Amino acid sequence: MRIEENGGESASINHLIFAYYVTGHGFGHATRVVEVVRNLIAAGHDVHVVTGAPDFVYTSEIQSPRLFLRKLVLDCGAVQADALTVDRLASLQKYSETAVRPRDSILATEVEWLHSIKADLVVSDVVPVACRAAAEAGIRSVCVTNFSWDFIYAEYVMAAGYHHRSIVWQIAEDYSHSEFLIRLPGYCPMPAFRDVIDVPLVVRRLHKSRKEVRKELGIGEDVKLVILNFGGQPAGWKLKEDYLPSGWLCLVCGASDTQELPPNFLKLPKDAYTPDLIAASDCMLGKIGYGTVSEALAYKLPFVFVRRDYFNEEPFLRNMLEFYQSGVEMIRRDLLTGHWKPYLERAISLKPCYEGGINGGEVAAHILQETAIGKNYASDRLRDAIVLGYQLQRVPGRDVSIPEWYTNAENELGLSTGSPTSEMSESNAITEFCTDDFEILHGDLQGLSDTRSFLNSLVELNNVSDSEKNNEKRQMRERKAAAGLFNWEEDIFVTRAPGRLDVMGGIADYSGSLVLQMPIREACHVAVQRNHPSKHRLWKHALARQNAKGQGPMPVLQIVSYGSELSNRGPTFDMDLSDFMEGEQPISYEKANKYFAQDPSQKWVLVHARFFLWKIVSSAVPEGKGVSSSAAVEVASMSAIAAAHGLSISPRELALLCQKVENHIVGAPCGVMDQMTSACGEAKNYLQWLSVTFKINGCLMQPAEIIGLVTIPSHIRFWGIDSGIRHSVGGADYGSVRIGAFMGRKIIKATASTRLSQSMSTANGASPMNRSFIRLFMQLVTSQIRSSLCQSTSSINVGEVFLEKYVDHGDTVTVIDKKRTYSVTAAAKHPVYENFRVKAFKALLTSASSNEQLTALGELLYQCHYSYSACGLGSDGTDRLVQLVQEMQHGKASRVDDGTLYGAKITGGGSGGTVCVVGRNCLRSSQHILEVS
């Protein structure tokens, strides 16, 4: 809609003029724009498309004098180093050349052009400067997309250095001039937009049926057909006949004119209409993009895909494919070497189930038409999305320069984020080292940027010299020690294990209670290499120790722990593995515990091997915060060691082994939920629904299992806030509560046995009693047992008295202190009621969305927190955080508007650490979390 000089508005519903800007990133944007434009023109409007795509992309589908094509590229998108890798630095440099340096002239030119065509509305997919030009021309603008370049480039900036840091902020500011966002499925976070309207998939329509296409190609219905849709194939890649299963044919898109193909591969013309060909195929092989994914879903075509490095849109589209059972991931190495058969055969066994709309082009066109004639879809709330959204990339030590307009927005909100200003110098920046000087022989990065950074740090170690150019001498010692650790020509095994946020269940896991846990972003990485003694590369002191023994080369464990010196710890550790052997057998857990107890700083994972073992540990999981930093180290280490020795250990079994390390070597009497979450965690929007181990008289009552994954509804979000108080499951408080719970179990068992023996005959043997006891202990369903527990435990809470009456408490990892008094009642009640709370919490998550639902979820968290306190596991810091959440929840603003935060609880082992908060998934909640922090 044009804003006239006299303040009036000008637009005719019968004939509107749209200026549609299309990014220069690939054909996918152009093909979806075609569908929106086609519907706008069908409604009688003129559309001027500003694009860098070839004319045939538009004219093959739209033959109308109302379509005007203007060749111009105002953003370059992501520059690809090859068909499967984005060049982050080159992308930013190209964008700078295309849209930053000539910015003033671009704006002047576009404003003049928009006035010349008398545009009623500017539409962008998703060119940032188009929104700013529209604002300066006095014309409304709308974006139509599934991602925005501020999100894509934000990660690039971290690796690119100082000179490109302002790009993301400028893009975000440009987008902020857009009225609202028409958001397509498979979308990324787009915090620069304040208002969003979701539409169905935008998919090009079919021209011909499957039968017609196959008839034209001369392919019968009995032939399996795969379409190779890469949009540019890997350089020097030669396709071979044996890549396909017997009897299959492959349609090749984008093949060069000179490329020779085997007889079972068919070259398609450059202007081939791919939607018809996709719908006529049995599966598709290619790389993920919006166009390929949307058409695969729309036409229920299984999609075998290969990941692209640094293509930040990909994980969100991949999730959509997997959700609708349409995706099969192929390892890049298998693609290039032609190991296609198992992937293709797996693909055709899928049953794609997308049933959503595919008329997004029509819906979007209608919204754009309504907007152009004056309808207001946008709200009037403060434009604060950018301020809150870009907390995502502001990592301490790696903050981007903050422009003046952003600082002003912070001041307007009264929000201080503690981030440095744009005066930050280049010397302060930490530039991520990036290289591809490694080859992944098995597995992949799974889109995890921290894993790639860890791999890059390993590669960088190979280039470390003896010079003292690095002023950080402590860090230099770590690097020197690590650089000499590996034989860089041999395989290195790298594993990753995340920390976890305890949502519900907490300390109740050692009792057999159900728990709900979720992995967090922070993780531990371990790199392991094993070598035969003949290839050993020992540190000087380790070599001297070996020589002193006069026994020749012996197996040795050497470890470097990154960042340890920053916390005033020794960065290296080594030991002779013979210290852990008695003849041909490993020493007992008890002796291993005593060995490590000699130096508490060296409580490392016990390793039994007949080879030298080199190891680097790097963990971003904060210690002492109640988010399972120890479990992350254990799981990552155990996984790496198992891989290095060719051992196949299931995630569940691995978690149980790691728990043994924690219980018997480290001496922390923890349950198994931490290790289970770290070993089995899903990096998606899920909570793990776990049952954990508890034994009665040596019988496994409830195995440690993942019962299922509970989806977190999109309107609910969890936060973890650090209390600043160090937590440790090895502390006496945690252990005493566990002892109290087991004492309570013993008392309940004795009480139940007495009552049952008085009312039941012994004809049925012990089995009914055992079943009754399980029911009594796990649920405490009768008030009689609850009251008897309170009465019995009041006089048997002193260790010595309890042992005299009951002999032991039945727990193999804790020891009762005879002189200590234990809070038996609270400790025994907590897991029973917590099990109920976990079940109720899970049921509420799957209930209908409402304010009452969130309130009930929050109340369960509060109840759990108070139960922790009753057990003696609270702390002033965590209590204060919970109190602040309550004040925020019940404050004046929350009573007037919809609530944002609904509940909070201490997590994990308690006595400090992290507080888990549940709230509404909205920007205002994030602001409130910052205020609480």
Q: Which residues are catalytic?
A: 674
Q: d(Cα 59, Cα 38) in Å, to the nearest integer?
A: 10
Distance, in Å, from the CA atom of 164 to the CA atom of 153, rounded to the nearest integer, reads 10
Pairwise CA distance, residues 602 & 590, whole Å: 16
How many residues are listed for the chain in this entry?
A: 933
Sign of CA dihedral 83, 84, 87, 88: positive
First to last CA, the chain: 44
Tokens standing for residue 53: 């795509």
User: Torsion over CA of 870, 876, 879 and 884, rounded to 10 degrees?
Assistant: 160
Compute how many other C-beta atoms are within 10 angstroms of the C-beta atom of residue 368. Answer: 25
Residue 420's SS3 state is: coil
How many CA atoms within 13 Å lie on the side-chain side of 468?
A: 3
Tokens read off for 625: 């915060």
Containing 824, the helix (H) or strand (E) segment is helix 824-845
d(CA 596, CA 112): 75
User: What is the spatial distance between Cα 141 and Cα 2, in angstroms, rounded to a whole number?
Assistant: 11
Tokens coding 542: 């380790």
Distance CA 593, CA 372 (A): 73
* Three-state secondary-structure class, residue 250: strand
Contact yes or no for 562/527 (Cβ under 8 A): no
Distances (CA, A) of 197 to 152, 162, 357: 21, 35, 15
Distances (CA, A) of 111 to 25, 76, 98: 23, 21, 17
- HEC string of 647-692 equals CCCCHHHHHHHHHHHHHHHHCCCCCCHHHHHHHHCCCCCEEEEEEC
Q: What share of the chain is helix, strand, coil (3-state, %, to 5)?
A: 45, 20, 40
CA 502 to chain CA mean position, Å? 16
Q: What's 578's DSSP letter?
A: G
Q: Is 679 within 8 Å of 314 (Cβ atoms)? A: no
Could you tell me where the beta strands, DSSP code E, fall in 449-555? 493-504, 514-531
Radius of gyration of the CA atoms of the chain, in A: 31
SS (H, E, C) 75-99: CCCCCEEECCEECHHHHHHHHHHHH
Q: How would you label 264-303 residue by residue, b for 16+ Cβ within 10 Å and e otherwise?
A: bbbbbeeeebbbbbbbbbbbbbbbbbbbbbbbbbbbbbbb
Sheet strands (E) in 546-657: 556-561, 572-576, 581-582, 585-586, 612-619
Q: What's the one-letter identity of residue 594?
A: K
